[in-house]
């Protein structure tokens, strides 16, 4: 066999070996645009169904309150030094049945208790935030 024939033969085998790789790569291409649009439409519908319910005007309806604590009544405490008297009065004003004072680096549970008032204080014992839960 001449050197020219053997080069052609090797090139042919190289192309034959390349063919399955091209088939595999072709199978990995993106789905057709109409399929992508259908997936996007279904995802949008699912997101809308999971969104908060709205009234006729499109305004989101609020979830019913859990518990009777209302921290909006005691937001004025933020920035004030915390004392036990302030905590007791805040608990009463918020309508909470329990009070939890959270200091920096305190370990807390993540459970939500709708009747509990949480007062977070900073390192200088100043009220940083007030919330229910």
At 84-99, the pLDDT tens digits run 999 999 999 999 999 9
- The pLDDT of residue 42 is 75
Cα atoms in the Cβ-side hemisphere of radius 13 Å centred on 102: 16
Q: What is the pLDDT of residue 1?
A: 56
More confident residue, 111 or 85: 85
β-strand pairing of 127-132 with 98-102 = unpaired
pLDDT of residue 132: 92
Output the pTM of the full model. 0.52
| Paired strand residues for 94 | none
């Amino acid at each position: 066999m001449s050197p020219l024939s053997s080069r052609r033969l090797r090139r042919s085998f190289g192309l034959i070996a390349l063919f399955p790789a091209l088939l595999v790569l072709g199978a990995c291409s993106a789905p057709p645009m109409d399929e992508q649009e259908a997936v996007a439409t279904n995802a949008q519908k699912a997101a809308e169904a999971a969104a908060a319910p709205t009234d006729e005007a499109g305004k989101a309806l609020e979830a019913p309150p859990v518990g009777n604590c209302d921290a909006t009544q005691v937001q004025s405490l933020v920035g004030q030094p915390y004392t036990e008297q302030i905590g007791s009065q805040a608990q009463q004003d918020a309508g909470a049945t329990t009070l939890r004072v959270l200091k920096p680096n305190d370990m807390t549970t993540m459970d939500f208790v709708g009747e509990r008032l949480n007062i977070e204080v900073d390192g200088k014992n100043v009220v940083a935030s007030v919330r229910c839960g």
